[in-house]
Structure 1
Amino acid sequence: MTYDYDLFVIGAGSGGTRAARVSAAYGARVAVAEEYRVGGTCVIRGCVPKKLLIYGAHFAEDLKDAKRFGWNVPEQPDFSWSVLRDNVMEEVDRINGAYTNTLNSNGVDIILSRAVVTGPNEVTLSDGRKVTAERILIAVGAHPAIPDCPGAEHGITSNEVFHLDTIPKRILIAGAGYIANEFAGIFHQFGAHVILINRTDVILRGYDESIRDRLLQISMTKGLEFRFNAGFEGIDKGEDGCLTVRMKGHEPAVVDMVMFATGRIPNTTGLGLDSAGVELDANGAVIVNEDNQSTCPSIYAVGDVTNRVQLTPVAIREGQAFADNTYGGKSVRVDYDNIPAAVFSHPPMAGVGMTEAQARQTLGSVKVYTSDFRPMKNVLAGRNERALYKMICDGDTDRIVGLHMIGPDVPEILQAAAIAVKARLTKADFDATIALHPTMAEELVLMR
């Protein structure tokens, strides 16, 4: 059978763009459909603009600290949210253009339309046009979950937060994962009173307990308010525009804005996957095998829509692997062990490998090394905030099985250290490395 394309990609985010570009470079005839903007969640409404807001927010502390370093800074520096917001959106536009140019330069046809699967080898565009392809790749990502409760329409998600007219004076954030804690730090630094509510008593589930406890301690010291075991019941909007949030186990909270950060749901609703026999899990994610192939042999999926690991670099690796295997004549599979992760909170966290609890449960014999110190910059600034680095080793082999950190710039430090964990290096290898002084990173080779 003759098809319109060798590959039709639905979704031009990080995973879909990589798969489309590399497949086309291998000689495949490729089209990609995108109903919003090329770039996907990370570039348009996720990690890129969020990281830029985090940079902007951190100046609040940096300007205070600057006085101790001899800089004459006004007591109340003037901050313009609109300037930061508009500059961030300008950068988003630039990257959107770069992604588009990359696809065009590789000969990929970009179709700015919603595409729905209507058969194993067919998609239908929003204008009714049908397109056929030998293979279809689903890379539509995920969207923020919104609780099913009265008044939920009064809240916002991370999708809308980048376009606010003003910074609220009081904001309640529902959730305790990385998105909730990152935006809590952002809003707090911009002068808002922040309340985080969570239905359990644990923040950042899955991260090392010592590190997440340190973040909770620092956040509370800074003035962030946490309400645990708080079941979300609803939101009432008053005549003055204020929002009253009702929750189980706590008094209602009156705020100016509510933000939902309670997880993300794969974008498979209405995508027509059932027409091709593509099976979904209980959360709506596409079920795939190790080669990203769904239960329909001609349909594949990568990225957040599979709900395996919802991280941009993972989606990119999956898209690359798909292209290499399908059109590059290679045999590649993504290794999901020891994926580094970071939380760009204030201060940031980063970790790779097993937590202490996971190591004790898996290995039995475990050695744990820590460095709990006050960074040099914080000392001169008069800031009591302490960093904590934690190294977890197999007690029998001395192999490092986990590294977990909280403190200034730890995501930048961990990227290199994660290579050591992936390479199965030992504590002795770190001990044999001469320290780079004076740095915070040197603590990694000085633990005893």
Structure 2
Amino acid sequence: MTTQYDYDLIVLGGGSGGLAAAFRAAQHGQRVAMLEPGELGGTCVNVGCVPKKAMWLAADLSARIGLAAAMGFDVPVRPSLDWKELVVHRQAYIANIHASYLKRLDENKVVRVPRRGRLVDAHTVECSDGVRISAAHILIATGAHPQRPDIPGAELGLVSDDFFNLCSAPERVAIVGGGYIAVELAGLLQALGSRVTLLVRGERLLERFDAELTGQLAENLRHQGVQVHFGYRLRELRRDGDAIVAFGHDGPADGQFDAVFFATGRRGNSADLGLEAVGVVVGDKGEVEVDAWQTTAVPSVHAVGDIAGKVGLTPVAIAAARKLMDRLFGGQPQAKMDYENVASVVFSHPALGAVGLSEEEACAKYGDVRVYRSNFRPMLQALADGTQRSVFKLVCVGEEERVVGVHLLGESADEILQGFALAVKMGVTKAQFDDTVAIHPTSAEEVVLMR
């Protein structure tokens, strides 16, 4: 790099993608500055994956204690939770992550600027205090934020970020949406003491996942006590004393709630970054448009993570950032992110995971598809007279029955899917899969894989 700039790389945003880029560029010997006015870690660490998983673990423990009671253990069926104590432990864990990031930035000699930045030109960023710095390359990694729908009374509703400010479980909760966040919040709150109603505009949950599994997930949620309503179009919210009343398009008042959460999509944090003025194209949802190499229409400006509008998962943002840095600074001009066959997990109860194509996607792409499935009640559920069911599904194509999709609703889906992702990427066949993976559902009823 030439020395005409203050830095080799300026990173706007200190989330997972921005941090991964900063660390990798520094390892390649580059001079890096990171602008982040808030806490390090972005959505994932502060109001996403990490605190969500902490709450999911608490909800999972609550459910297991109930199963233990059904099996004969002297424990309450519905254990009480000191929510504030849980939050103390959760935030202490997050504080340790913040400290670790700060230490690593210092060790890698990354300059942290606790300011917001906006582009002045293709190589210059102006900090919110008026100071200007320049770099050969600028990376936009500012993430995204949850949206509220444009309806009357929307200000009465909460968003996913607000969930982490709760000090107790609201008694009656409505969640508007049917995607990742809606499903996860529904399971968490129901397990931790709320009575949850899920208001879904479409006719199914999680439209990017296999319909058979999401159908079973909806049934599982109902057995957990969640009221699931499909085809619901929210018209407005109104305050009625201490309650919030939800009105749908197709009827009168649909219910009174103590809290209403919107899980109706996210928008990229691209406003007031000066992007359009320098030639960077911004999409309808605030996403920065990039090519297959994470570069915008301006060759020196790049984007990764939620702001880039690709696959909105933390591991994907990290991988894309590292690939980009290897291409720009590591002498690897062919380094490129592969967005196919990415393992994706929803932390429902139990978790739902998938890698590759759903049955519907495989049919549309290949026509000739064979599906192997097992829908069963796991042993713990059976022993405790539980109602939750798990599903395992393989989607295969061609005479050799190449596995193009693996789908799992069940225990440890997040861990199991990592191995399946590698298998799908390697193009294994059903026969090879059978030779290397032992499928043992341990159900109280006879289970066979049916073609």
After TM superposition, the score normalised by the length of structure 1 is 0.95
Partners of 2:389 and 2:231 in 1: CA distance: 28
Q: In the TM superposition, what is the alpha-carbon distance from 1:428 to its structure 2 partner? A: 0.5
Q: What amino acid sits opposite 1:71 in the alignment? A: F
Pairing 1:299–2:301 present? yes
Are 2:65 and 2:77, in contact at CA under 8 Å, matched by a contact in 1? no
Q: 1:113-141 CA distances to partner (integer Å, 9 max, x unpaired)? A: 11111111111111111111111100001
Partners of 2:201 and 2:94 in 1: CA distance: 34
Computed over aligned residues only, the root mean square deviation of the Cα atoms, in angstroms, reads 1.9
Partners of 1:439 and 1:118 in 2: CA distance: 61
Aligned partner of 2:11 in structure 1 is 9
Aligned partner of 1:321 in structure 2 is 323
| Secondary structure of the structure 2 residue equivalent to 1:432 | helix
Distance 1:250 1:339, change over 3 A: farther
Residue in structure 2 matching 1:384, options 384, 387, 390? 387
Q: What amino acid sits opposite 2:414 in the alignment? A: P
Aligned partner of 2:226 in structure 1 is 224
Give the % identical residues: 39
| Secondary structure of the structure 1 residue equivalent to 2:38 | coil
- How do 1:404-443 residues align onto structure 2 when only pairs under 5 Å count? 404-433=407-436, 435=438
Pairing 1:353–2:356 present? yes
After TM superposition, the score normalised by the length of structure 2 is 0.95
Aligned partner of 2:170 in structure 1 is 168
| Secondary structure of the structure 2 residue equivalent to 1:163 | coil
Pairing 1:193–2:195 present? yes
Aligned partner of 1:309 in structure 2 is 311
Are 1:431 and 1:446, in contact at CA under 8 Å, matched by a contact in 2? no
Partners of 2:400 and 2:387 in 1: CA distance: 37
Q: In the TM superposition, what is the alpha-carbon distance from 1:282 to its structure 2 partner? A: 2.1
Pairing 1:92–2:90 present? no
| Secondary structure of the structure 1 residue equivalent to 2:8 | strand
Q: What amino acid sits opposite 1:287 in the alignment? A: E
Q: 1:165-220 CA distances to partner (integer Å, 9 max, x unpaired)? A: 32100111111001100000000001211111122222111110100000011111
Q: In the TM superposition, what is the alpha-carbon distance from 1:370 to its structure 2 partner? A: 0.6
Residue in structure 1 matching 2:340, options 303, 313, 337? 337
Are 2:223 and 2:387, in contact at CA under 8 Å, matched by a contact in 1? no
Partners of 1:267 and 1:215 in 2: CA distance: 32
Aligned partner of 1:271 in structure 2 is 273
Pairing 1:245–2:269 present? no
Distance 1:203 1:250, change over 3 A: farther
Pairing 1:143–2:145 present? yes
Partners of 1:113 and 1:370 in 2: CA distance: 52
Q: In the TM superposition, what is the alpha-carbon distance from 1:70 to its structure 2 partner? A: 4.2
Partners of 1:11 and 1:100 in 2: CA distance: 14
Aligned partner of 2:28 in structure 1 is 26
Q: 1:382-419 CA distances to partner (integer Å, 9 max, x unpaired)? A: 21322111101013231000011112222222211221
Residue in structure 2 matching 1:369, options 350, 367, 372? 372
Residue in structure 2 matching 1:233, options 232, 235, 238? 235
Q: What amino acid sits opposite 1:180 in the alignment? A: A
Partners of 2:180 and 2:447 in 1: CA distance: 24
Q: What amino acid sits opposite 2:245 in the alignment? A: T
Aligned partner of 1:399 in structure 2 is 402
Gaps of 5+ in 2: none
Partners of 1:429 and 1:194 in 2: CA distance: 43
Q: In the TM superposition, what is the alpha-carbon distance from 1:437 to its structure 2 partner? A: 6.1
Q: What amino acid sits opposite 1:267 in the alignment? A: N
- How do 1:36-185 residues align onto structure 2 when only pairs under 5 Å count? 36-185=38-187
Q: What amino acid sits opposite 1:387 in the alignment? A: S
Partners of 2:252 and 2:221 in 1: CA distance: 21
Partners of 1:196 and 1:269 in 2: CA distance: 31
Are 1:9 and 1:137, in contact at CA under 8 Å, matched by a contact in 2? yes
Q: 1:351-380 CA distances to partner (integer Å, 9 max, x unpaired)? A: 111111111111111111011222111121
Q: In the TM superposition, what is the alpha-carbon distance from 1:266 to its structure 2 partner? A: 0.6
Q: In the TM superposition, what is the alpha-carbon distance from 1:156 to its structure 2 partner? A: 1.2
Partners of 2:213 and 2:275 in 1: CA distance: 41
Q: In the TM superposition, what is the alpha-carbon distance from 1:68 to its structure 2 partner? A: 4.2
Are 2:69 and 2:77, in contact at CA under 8 Å, matched by a contact in 1? no
Are 2:372 and 2:449, in contact at CA under 8 Å, matched by a contact in 1? no
Q: In the TM superposition, what is the alpha-carbon distance from 1:234 to its structure 2 partner? A: 1.6
Distance 1:424 1:4, change over 3 A: same
Q: 1:256-303 CA distances to partner (integer Å, 9 max, x unpaired)? A: 001111111110011111221111122221111121111111111111
| Secondary structure of the structure 2 residue equivalent to 1:159 | helix
Q: In the TM superposition, what is the alpha-carbon distance from 1:74 to its structure 2 partner? A: 3.0
Partners of 1:112 and 1:425 in 2: CA distance: 48
Single out whichever of 337-346 and 190-199 deviates more from structure 2: 190-199
Are 1:44 and 1:96, in contact at CA under 8 Å, matched by a contact in 2? no
Partners of 2:343 and 2:447 in 1: CA distance: 16
Partners of 1:386 and 1:101 in 2: CA distance: 44
Are 1:373 and 1:388, in contact at CA under 8 Å, matched by a contact in 2? yes
Aligned partner of 2:208 in structure 1 is 206
Q: What amino acid sits opposite 1:244 in the alignment? A: V
Distance 1:39 1:175, change over 3 A: same
Are 2:243 and 2:256, in contact at CA under 8 Å, matched by a contact in 1? yes
